Every structure is written in C-alpha cells, then in structure tokens.
Amino acid sequence: MVVGHDLVEYSTEHSSIPCKSHNFFSGVALFQDELVRHSFHSIKLNFLGYAEAVAISLPLGFIVGLLPLFRALFERPVIAMRYLPLSAVLGPFILWFGIGSNMKIQFLALGIVVYLLPTVVQRIDEVNQTSVNTVSTLGATKWQLVKSVFIPDVTSRVFEDIRILVAISWTYIIIAEVVNRQEGGIGALIFTVARQSRMDKVFACLIVIVLICVAQDRVFKFLDKKLFPFKHAVKRGSAE
C-alpha cells in the first residue's frame, strides 16, 4: 500500500509538469498579444499628436519667420519654449483636458511643438538668399516668392527635422500613458510590468519601442524621397 501510494504521488507530481509548461507558453502568448495591442494604441496616439503638432507649427512658423511684426513680438518666446519642462505641464493638462486620450494627444503635440516651431523659424532664416533675390528680380510677388521658394525649401528641411523628433515623442508618450493606465498603451504596460518586477517584460517593451522607431524612420526616409525628389537630386549632383 505504501508503494502504491508513492507511485500515485510520483505520477501526480510528474503529470503536472506539462501543465506548468503549457501555462508558461500560454502566458508568453498572452503577453505578446497584449504587447501588440498596447503598441498599436501608442502608435495611434503618437501619430495624432504628431499630425496636430505639424498642423500648428508649420503655419505659425511661417507667420513668425516671414512677417517682421510677428517676428519682433514672438521670436524670443518661441525660442524660449524649448526650455519648457514638459513633465511639469502634465498636471495642468489633466485639469484642462481630463485623463482620456485627448489629453495625451494634446500633451504629445505640445512636446513636439516646443521643438518644431523654433526649428521652422530657423529653417526660414536658412533659405538661400540667392534664390530669393533671383525670384524677386524676375518680378515675383511676395506670395509667389513664398510659394515658389520658401514653402518648398523650408518644408523639405523641416521634414527631416520631423523624422528626428520621433524619438522625443516616444519619450513623452511614456509619461502621458502613466495617467489612466486602463486605456492602454506601451507606456502604461511598462509601468504595470515594472511594478510587478518583471524586468524581462520591461526590456521586451523597450525593444518593441526601438523597433517601432526604426520602422518609422524608414517610412519617413521613403516619404522624404517621394515628396521632395529635388532635394535628393541636388545631393546626388553634389556627390558626383
């Protein structure tokens, strides 16, 4: 009877091994699904914040950069915006916009605008004066000068700056998604698994962010070549 009891106990212990293995792989698959879902949520917020920031920064940048009155009034405040500690602005944004996705989008947009708006003004100052003088000599109006010289030149340069600023937006999205973590996002997922001391999952999330940024960088480079072929033609010509 003792031997029989020992055999039953031994078989019970070893029969549980496949169940533990099955639970482990089920947990890994569940985390992968969760990581994909949260990543797409963060990509959506990132894209909406970026779109809003570009829609704000380009027109305001041209106004401040091209009109002397607005340049005199707003150039210094625009440059000073770069030193704004954005993490401290999160509290007022919660007060103004709530704790939903809209607040996170506005916060991301501000995080990009404070860098992109001064950059647009700077790019306007870097426009080749030879091109400006040539078009002016041909009798172009101010609007024709802006449309044919400033807009193509500045937007082609700013597009490169937007590509570089992708990294900054992913930094701020981690801060924003800590608020109301139930909505999801890879920042919320990192905070949750870090509190569970699951450093393996934290590193998995960080690797996914790096891969997303690399993919975004490739997409921006592809769009840059398609939208501004003249810029790359000039580079090839200078290289030859």
Which of 159, 158, 135, 161 has the alpha carbon at shortest distance from 147? Answer: 135
Task: Quick: pLDDT tens for 94-126.
Answer: 888 888 888 889 988 888 888 898 889 889 988
Task: Quick: pLDDT tens for 158-214.
Answer: 888 888 887 778 888 888 888 887 888 888 888 888 888 888 888 888 888 889 888
The per-residue pLDDT for 14 is 45
- Identify whether the C-beta of residue 153 lies closer than 8 Å to the C-beta of residue 131: yes
For residue 155, pLDDT beyond 50: yes
The per-residue pLDDT for 28 is 52
For residue 239, pLDDT beyond 80: no
Q: Which residues contact 182 (CB under 8 A, 6 or more apart)?
A: 188
Task: Please give the C-alpha separations between residue 149 and each of 87, 145, 162, in angstroms, as whole numbers.
Answer: 38, 6, 20
Task: Quick: pLDDT tens for 38-79.
Answer: 889 888 988 898 899 999 999 999 998 888 888 888 878 877
- Identify whether the C-beta of residue 117 lies closer than 8 Å to the C-beta of residue 62: no
Domain ranges of the chain: 38-227
- Residue 93: pLDDT band (50, 70, 90) is confident
Cα gap 51→55, rounded to integer Å? 6
Q: pTM of the entire structure?
A: 0.76
The highest-level CATH class for domain 38-227 is: mainly alpha
